[in-house]
Structure 1
Amino acid sequence: MPKPIRVLIVEDDKRIAEINRRFVVRVPGYEVVGIATNEQEGKEFITVLQPELVLLDIYFPDMHGLHLLKWIREHFMNIDVIVITAAREVDSLKQAMRGGVFDYIIKPIMLERFTETLVRYKEYHDKMQLMTKEKEIISQEEIDELIRRDYVLSDASDELPKGIHRLTLEKVLTVMKQYHDGVTAEEVGKLIGASRTTTRRYLEYLVSASIVIADVSYGTVGRPERIYRLKRS
């Protein structure tokens, strides 16, 4: 079983930090290893814990978060950063992007948006780990797949039926890519912040488009349940 991605939250508001922690642990494959509330704690925790991912605010009483981002880049190039902030200034976004952040999320955080980012980051992280272990050179196609931010439904029709929206459909697909052994509509719904009924509608559309296949599982109490997984090429 792969090790969970270790996350450090750097946020001076303890209430918001706790909300972020709860959001993180709802996503499979993650664990929160610490919460830092100021610059000193942030640097100490990063140095000692060396997490794979830092969730970083920008506004602090004793520092600017982008200065800490620069420090991370100078000392720990292998640590990825997602900015979570109320800062809406274009200059803050530009500096963060130049600092190589994986994503930039504006407060207040929406669970669906946050979950989407963590699911995408896990796929990116897992692919990068696999490539590091198995490859010395990489193709352009593999690079494009690794660094792209949006998943393209190349196998689905451009004309989606009524009630099926492309953004939600791509979120469902992103989750499906994490569960090779199959997942239920209820489980997918929890991850993307949608109801079981809505999620099942999208999954059944993907079945009709021959992107996803569905099997019936009777479970331990004999109640049949549809299990969905991506169709292997």
Structure 2
Amino acid sequence: MIPAIQHQFEFWRHLGQMGGYFNQYEGVSSLFPKDTTWPSKIFDLKEHHIIGLKNKIASYQLAKSVAVEENETLENLLQAQGFRQTSSVAAMTMHNTAEVEYANYPEIEKVMDAFGAKMFAKIASKSFGYTIYESTIAPLIHSKKVQLFIGRYQRDYVSCGIVFQDSIGDFGLHMIGTKRKFRGFGLGKKMTEHLLATALKNDSEFIHLAASKLGAPIYHKLGFQHQGYLKSYTI
């Protein structure tokens, strides 16, 4: 498996374990929190378990969204069962050569309490266009593997981002967002650089992220290399 995608799956697993909504079944892992669409996700899917997915989804045992590493055989099997592709993001990795340095920004704060979790959830919801609840974010404050950040612009909290350290010591950048009306001021770039600085200071050999089609060229300029695609399907 592509390291960046393996890292992403571990991040999702950790979210679910901290929040109490991770389930491991034979041939598939699942996040299925109650009363929320994020981070509802099926991943770690094995080919011979695709046929049973529809029944488990119909009986509300699993979420509707399936994330898979780009794989023609697996994707054809999903499509044959009536699943359709909804998105494709680039799995990207930077090798830490210790030659890149980024400044910390004083307007970016680490989330340490319930107020910060509430602000993070509000910013992320407005940035990504779907509801993210404070109850999903709050448990992450107590995780030793996760660091959450929110950024100010003048008097408003407008940007967010997460750094996650996986089981082999690699760091990943997640949930980098800026409220729509504050885009174009370089705030997302500042958040990305702050998260990168955090990873670099912790001597992460590789740093991972998943990027949209629009975001991939920006991350490439920062030193990230495209490794493959993470695709989402639904039914």
- Normalising by structure 1, we get a TM-score of 0.32
Structure with more of its chain in strand, by fraction: 2
Whichever of the two has the greater Rg, that structure is 1
Instruction: Using CA pairs under 8 Å that are at least 6 residues apart, name the structure with larger relative contact order, 1 or 2.
Output: 2
- Normalising by structure 2, we get a TM-score of 0.31
